[in-house]
Amino acid sequence: MDESRAPTYAQCFKSMAVGLAPLFILFGIAAIFGADTVRINRLPVHGPLALLYSVVMALLLAALCATFQKLGYFILSRWPRREADVEA
């Protein structure tokens, strides 16, 4: 993959964060009302703190996924592109 065509880390992070945000916010809202959807050190967290933890976890997971995505783009950029055999 051409390095100039690969998305930046910020673009990768934003796309992951936007995709993960609704799910993690839903988990945080459920935890506010007593569901055991957010856990820290195997202990359930409830109340407004659960929403904060769920947003932080979404950002950390988005950063981790974006890092692996950019690593994949870097590795793929090291292989030469194959030319397509097109008959005109």
Q: How far is CA 28 from the centre of its chain?
A: 17
- For residue 19, name the pLDDT band (cuts at 50, 70, 90): very high
Residue 40 lies in a domain: yes
Residue identified by tokens 């397509």 is 84
Average pLDDT, the chain: 91
Domain that holds residue 34: 3-77
Residue 84 lies in a domain: no
Residues 50-87 pLDDT 10s:
999 999 999 999 999 999 999 999 998 888 877 777 77
Q: pTM for the whole thing?
A: 0.81
pLDDT at 3: 52
Cα separation, 7 vs 48, in Å, equals 35
- Number of structural domains (the chain) is 1
Residue 87 lies in a domain: no
Residue 39 lies in a domain: yes
